[in-house]
Structures are given as structure tokens and as C-alpha cells.
Amino acid sequence: MAERLLEVDNLQVSFATEDGVVRAVDGVSFTLDRGEVLAIVGESGSGKSVTSMTLMGLTRGVNSRFGGSAKLKGKELLSASEEDLQKIRGAEIAMIFQDPISSLSPVHRIGDQIVEQIRAHDKKISKAAAFDRAVELMERVGIPHARGRARAYPHEFSGGMRQRAMIAMALSLSPSVLIADEPTTALDVTIQAQILDEVKDLKEHSDSGIIFVTHDLGVVADIADRVIVMYAGRVVEKGTLDEIFYDPQHPYTWGLLGSVTRMDRDPPKRLPSIPGLPPSLINAPAGCHFRPRCPHEFDRCREVPPLEARVSEAPDHLDRCWLSVEDKRSRREVEGRIGLVKDTVPA
């Protein structure tokens, strides 16, 4: 069995704001093994980015409160000292961010930014050796003329090349855990595909565990082994890629799947969407967080459904919905495919 890298148990993250306490992450649990790609899926504000940033201690602050536990190879991250976290960041857990335009320092050369990370962890390596290593990394992620390009500034790179540079930087110390926080969202579709190929290549040729944070289920289908669906700070469904795509149990997952446009079907008259907006996390609705937007809502939804296995043949497929499995399987069929509701608005 592959080595267990991450063990997150009942993680809670809340922020005190002027309007009240925001419970951004509420009882999230998952594990990550070597060589595995775990996708965390959800809308903006579902807590997926906060979850991943908390692993690196990037959400720490005077107004933040944490609960539960998050362990890297058995070492607790939530209570780790800032010095210990500095050693982990970039070296053990590295992160690729959403927007490569704003995520690179505008005033430093690309190569120097990679060198900076290498030298932050390897104090003995010379500048020249670190620079050579940076060039090697840039070549590895497909940046042409890497030696010359390493001396360029971020504004002289295209969006896709910048994201490749970010990936090169994240890989510079061969981290055990790589967190990709919506790495393709800010890019063109063609560039998205190239970056996804890079990530897939990584999955095959390195033994890192990858956490892929996204709202795009199309991307998830492409690379993930296991999927966590988050809604309003909670995990609403968790399972293997096949379980989530072919036997989704939570209405929110149906909604997400129903919103994916598919090339292999006739285009819908209207792009389906999930009605309503995610709730404020300051005054989250009692019971199931998805209740106000859910067309299948009933009395029991006023109680918070536990995250548990409900499909008898899949003990690791968990979800948070009170409906019976039979009910779910019949209700999720909308016009011959999985969806939340039939689109009632005439085209």
C-alpha cells in the first residue's frame, strides 16, 4: 500500500469578521496517499481553497480559529510552529495558485524566483547551481529556451508559460504533496489542456500526492482518482471518480454534474445551473446547508445529515443526504441524464 501522506480529520476553520464568525471549513476529513490525485470540488466559497491553504498554514492569522487535526506523515500541521511550517512549505507541501499573473512577483526574474525557493530550503547550494536547477525544472515543464527564459520577468511570459513556471517552482524541491488550487481557471481552454497534461505527467512520473482544487468537473474527470465535493464548508459527498460520476448520491453533486456541458450530446437550449446562491457562512441555514436550494428538500433536512456510507455495495462512498438510495437514483434522472431539476424556463 502506498505511503499515507496526509490525514485530515474533522478540520474546522473559522474566521472572526466584523459581521460575525465565518465557519469556512466545518468538519472536513480526508486522506491522501502517494501517487494519488484527490480532487476537491465546489463552488466559490465552499471552503475548498481555505482547506488546502490551511494545510500550509497560510490561513493563520489573529482572526482565524482552527479545530480538528491535519497531519503530514504523522506530524500535526495545525499546531506546528511557524519555523517548522516554513520548512514544510515549498519543500514538503508545495502549491500552485489560480492566477499565474498575480501569483508571481512582478519585479523578480522567473529563474530567480525559483532559485529563491530552492535556496530557502537548501542553504548550502550555490546561486549558480540553484539557477541551473531552476533551468532544468523549467525545461521539464515544457518551457522552451529555458536558460534564456529564466532571465525574463513574469510580464514577458504568456499566461500558460507563467503557470508552467509556477509548476516548475512548486516542483523544485520534489514535494510529497502538491496542491493545485484551480491551476487552469485563469487560462485559455487550449492552455488549460496543456497544463492538465503537465499535471497528469506529474502524476505518472513522480510519487507526489496531488490535491487538485477546482470547480470544473470536466477537469476532475480527466485526472482525479478520488473526489470530495464540498458545499458551504462541509463535505457533502466523497468517493472514487467512478462513484461520483456514475452513482452520485447528493443533490448538489447532481446539480454540478448537470451543469457540465457535454460535447457528446445535443447542446441544451439553456445551460443548466443550480438555482440560488451558496449561503452566507456567518448565518448558515440550520440542518443541511443545501436545503434552501434543493428541490428535493423535505422535513428531515432540518437536521444535519451525517456524512456516512449509504450505498451498501460501496462502503467508502460517503454522502450527506437523508434521501434513500432508491429515491436518489430515481430523482437524479433529468431528461435522460444526471441533473438537479428540469429546466423550467422556456428557451
Partner 1 sequence: MARFAVRRFMSMLALLFATSVVVFGIFEIIPSYNPARAIAGRNANKTTVQEVSRKFGFDKPFYAQYANTMKLIFTGQIVDYQDQLNVVDQFKQKFPATLSLVIPAGIIWLIAAIVLGSVGALKAGKFADRALMVMAIVGVSIPVFLLAAVLLYLLAYKTSVFPNTGYVSLTSSPAQWAYHLILPWFSIALLSIGFYSRVLRGNILDMINQDFVRTARAKGLSQRDVFSRHVLRNSLMPIITLFGLDFATLLGGATLVTETVFNIPGIGQYEAAAIGNLDVPPILVGAMFTAFFVVIFGAFCDLFYALLDPRIRLSG
Residues that bind partner 1 (CB under 8 A): 56, 58, 82, 86-91, 94-95, 97, 99, 102-108, 116-117, 120-121, 153, 155, 166, 169
Residue 228 C-beta: closest distance to partner 1, Å: 21
Residue 14 C-beta: closest distance to partner 1, Å: 20
Nearer to partner 1, 160 or 251 (CB): 160
Nearer to partner 1, 101 or 325 (CB): 101
Residue 291 C-beta: closest distance to partner 1, Å: 34
Residue 110 C-beta: closest distance to partner 1, Å: 11
The CA-atom distances, in angstroms, between 59 and each of 53, 87, 322 are: 6, 17, 33
Nearer to partner 1, 52 or 253 (CB): 52
Nearer to partner 1, 108 or 329 (CB): 108
Which residue type does 41 have? V
Nearer to partner 1, 99 or 207 (CB): 99
Residue 324 C-beta: closest distance to partner 1, Å: 44
Residue 295 C-beta: closest distance to partner 1, Å: 38
Cα 187 to its chain centre, rounded Å, is 16
